[in-house]
Amino acid sequence: MSLIRREARDAHLVLTLDKARGNAMNPALIEELLGAAREATADDSVHGVLLASAKPKLFCPGLDLVELFDLDRPAMRAFMLRFADAMWGFFALPKPVVAAVSGHAIAGGCILALTADWRVLAPGAQIGLNEVKIGVPLPWSVALLLRYTVAPSAYSRVALLGRNFEGEEALRAGLADELAAPDGFLDAALQRLGEFTEKDLHAFARTKAYLRGDTIIAMRAREAELLDEWLDGWFAPSTRERIRATVKALSRKPQ
């Protein structure tokens, strides 16, 4: 069963995450995300992409700790490289991408949202990066993505303190671009996507490539080299204890 629902809305492709544990990212979901980014890039009938969630209160909570906790270092390294591939796929996608963040987008969920050209946030939905609080550094590509997207004045609050943001505070930090009411939320996000896709698509694609190209090159140049620093944090005893406690709590919750 697919973990991402695909729906054509005129020339827009709506990708709706619909996975157990609130769309938490496991290898299967990452492969589907990567495949969806490649398909959207290659399909001339797709003029824009909307990232959405089938969960009413969750966009994506980040990595699927329950599934990933038992991976050894080589397997976790392979997963994180595929994770980077998927994020690059959306960040470099030569068509408009809008993220409809209808619920909490934490850690990897925030990262996925940050790859979009525009983020629409629902009231009460929290968005943020909690990696340092857990005990892992931001992956190299994520640090560059943050530098590209977020206001420099917010770096410490977002990346180093690991705070979550919502509403106007998320707008000021640069984690979101627009707030929309729950009623008609998806339609509002599609309307914003339509504002992008009504532009000349060639002009849009080239301009986006000029704006993001240097960041993409820098991401790809050092992601594999610096990944061991992330893995050192992931496999540190103190981090393992924090993750183990989280996994126990998550395992008791109904999926």
Domains of the chain: 4-182 (3.90.226.10)
Q: Is the pLDDT of residue 66 over 90?
A: yes
**pLDDT value at position 254?**
60
Type of residue found at 77 = R
Average of per-residue pLDDT values in the chain = 96
Q: In sequence order, what are the residues at sequence separation of 6 or more whose Cβ sits closer than 8 angstroms to the Cβ of residue 22? A: 55, 58, 60, 61
Instruction: Label residue 255 by pLDDT band (50, 70, 90).
Output: low
Q: What is the pTM of this model?
A: 0.96
pLDDT confidence of 56, banded at 50, 70, 90? confident
Share of the chain above pLDDT 70, in %: 99
DSSP one-letter code for 183: T
Reduce the DSSP state of residue 104 to 3 states and report it. Answer: strand
Q: How many helices (H) and strands (E) does the chain have?
A: 12, 10
- Whole-number Å distance between alpha carbons of 117 and 97: 5
Task: Kindly state the tokens that stand for 220.
Answer: 């790809």
pLDDT exceeds 90 at position 249: no
- Write the CB contacts of 14 (distance below 8 Å, at least 6 apart in sequence): 5, 6, 7, 8, 49, 50, 52, 190
Tell me the residue type at 142.
V
